[in-house]
Amino acid sequence: MARTDSDDGAWLRALPDDTGRGPVLRRHGHLVHTDRRLGELVHRRPPGVTGNQWSAAVRAGLDLVVCAADTGHPRFAVEVGPPAVPGGAQQRERRMTDVVCAAVGLPLLRISSPTLRAGSHGRQIVGYLLDARHYAALTSAEPVTPTPHSPPPVGFRDILGRLPDGRRGPVNDLGALARAAAVEAYVSGHLVDPIVRGLHVRWTDGPAEGWSWVTVGPDSCLVERVSVRDHRVVRGVPTARLAEDLAAVAIGERLRGFDTVPTDVVSRSQLRADILALRSRRDEFADGFAFEHLCVD
């Protein structure tokens, strides 16, 4: 039976707020809990889930669980961490977790990054997701009668305001602090270009992928790539754009204490070759490839 994240189904149990492990964030009528096992949220094994899938998934940890503040009922979960090794035990465990979450109607967002971690970035990410979902709910509820001259509605990611560096720009850019840090690193001589560049794509029937990079030297770039696999969590912001912004956040993390040139840089020629290789697979993207300008010599 298909479920939605508004369905208080029989499979999910409420998380109590009086166990000594209280929420780390309260926002827009939601409570955010950390480090919960999937088994804490599910009453029993749902139909269609094998015993092997069930026994593996209920032991799996969920980095962040978002619940309704009034009922404690789980609304969605978020995982943030390094990519799983293809074919490895962790990848198999994640697949089983995905199966159980889908069966019990628990939306799940999985963010894979070599740099981002739930402990350091999870609260910021979930707060952003809740803000975007709240904005999307408000704007969709407003009755609008468009006219031929009506401006298009402003998306959450496109709201303009004052940025951390004093400029005017999109205030809901998760990478805004990283972009300001890149300017500071450029002024201090640690970067040869102050701009955080990036791209994003969404694979058909697959995750969204975002890249961000800064130019460290004449022929060296610091590159971060983030994969976002969304199962009915993200609203109000395109998932692929979210992936690129998260990659920018990862760049900002790498720029902290940036006193020496890192060893894990990528040559500009290699980065361009990687972008060209990505472009060659444009037929596999759900929304095409919008970054031809990065492929020009």
Q: DSSP states of 29-63 as a string?
A: TEEEEEEEEGGGTBSSPPTT--HHHHHHHTT-EEE
Boundary-marking domain end, from 71, 104, 124:
124
Give CA angle at 209 (35, 90), nearest 5°: 40
Across the strands, what pairs with 198? 212
Residues 287 and 162 placed together within one structural domain of the fold: yes
Structural domain that includes position 37: 25-124
pLDDT of residue 264: 85
Q: Give the closest residue to 135 by CA, choosing from 152, 159, 107, 115.
A: 159
Helix (H) or strand (E) holding 76: strand 74-81
Is 52 a residue whose pLDDT tops 90? no
Q: What is the mean pLDDT of residues 95-113?
A: 94
Q: What is the mean pLDDT of residues 77-88?
A: 94
Boundary-marking domain end, from 124, 144, 170:
124
Q: Let me know if residue 13 belongs to a domain.
A: no
Structure tokens at 96: 């089983």
Q: With beta carbons less than 8 A apart as the criterion, state whether 238 and 166 touch.
A: no
Residues 161 and 287 placed together within one structural domain of the fold: yes
Q: Let me know if residue 269 belongs to a domain.
A: yes
Residues 202 and 284 placed together within one structural domain of the fold: yes
Residues 101 and 182 placed together within one structural domain of the fold: no
Residues 113 and 191 placed together within one structural domain of the fold: no
Q: Let me know if residue 186 belongs to a domain.
A: yes
Q: How far is CA 255 from CA 84, 252, 266, 292, in A?
A: 25, 5, 15, 27
Q: Give the closest residue to 133 by CA, choosing from 207, 248, 230.
A: 230
Q: Let me know if residue 52 belongs to a domain.
A: yes
Residue 264 DSSP label = S
Percent of the chain predicted with pLDDT > 90: 69
Q: Let me know if residue 4 belongs to a domain.
A: no
DSSP, collapsed to helix, strand or coil, labels residue 66 as strand
Residues 116 and 197 placed together within one structural domain of the fold: no
Q: Let me know if residue 17 belongs to a domain.
A: no
In sequence order, the 6+-apart residues with CB closer than 8 A to the CB of 132 are 156, 157, 172, 234, 235, 236, 237
Percent of the chain predicted with pLDDT > 70: 91
Helix (H) or strand (E) holding 159: none
- Please count the structural domains in the chain: 2
Q: What is the mean pLDDT of residues 134-155?
A: 77
Structure tokens at 169: 């720009």
Residues 168 and 271 placed together within one structural domain of the fold: yes
Residues 167 and 91 placed together within one structural domain of the fold: no
Boundary-marking domain end, from 124, 143, 176:
124
Query: What CA–CA distance (Å, rounded) separates 37 from 27?
Result: 22
pLDDT level of residue 254 (50, 70, 90 thresholds): very high
Q: With beta carbons less than 8 A apart as the criterion, state whether 117 and 125 touch.
A: no
Least confident of 18-27, 103-112, 220-229: 18-27
Query: What CA–CA distance (Å, rounded) separates 224 from 198?
Result: 9
Residues 166 and 246 placed together within one structural domain of the fold: yes
pLDDT of residue 129: 98
Query: What CA–CA distance (Å, rounded) separates 255 from 232?
Result: 32
Which residue shows structure tokens 């979960």?
Answer: 77
Residues 118 and 162 placed together within one structural domain of the fold: no
Query: What CA–CA distance (Å, rounded) separates 123 from 46?
Result: 30
Residues 209-247 pLDDT 10s:
999 999 999 999 999 999 999 999 999 999 999 999 999
Query: What CA–CA distance (Å, rounded) separates 178 from 176?
Result: 5
pLDDT of residue 8: 45
Residues 70 and 179 placed together within one structural domain of the fold: no
Written as one letter, the residue type at 191 is L
Q: Let me know if residue 88 belongs to a domain.
A: yes
Which residue shows structure tokens 């994240």?
Answer: 5
pLDDT of residue 287: 92
Alpha helices for 46-145 (secondary structure H) = 51-57, 89-104, 123-141
Q: How far is CA 53 from CA 56, 98, 239, in A?
A: 5, 10, 28
Q: Let me know if residue 19 belongs to a domain.
A: no
Query: What CA–CA distance (Å, rounded) separates 283 from 93?
Result: 30
Residues 163 and 267 placed together within one structural domain of the fold: yes
pLDDT level of residue 208 (50, 70, 90 thresholds): very high
Least confident of 56-60, 124-128, 281-285: 56-60
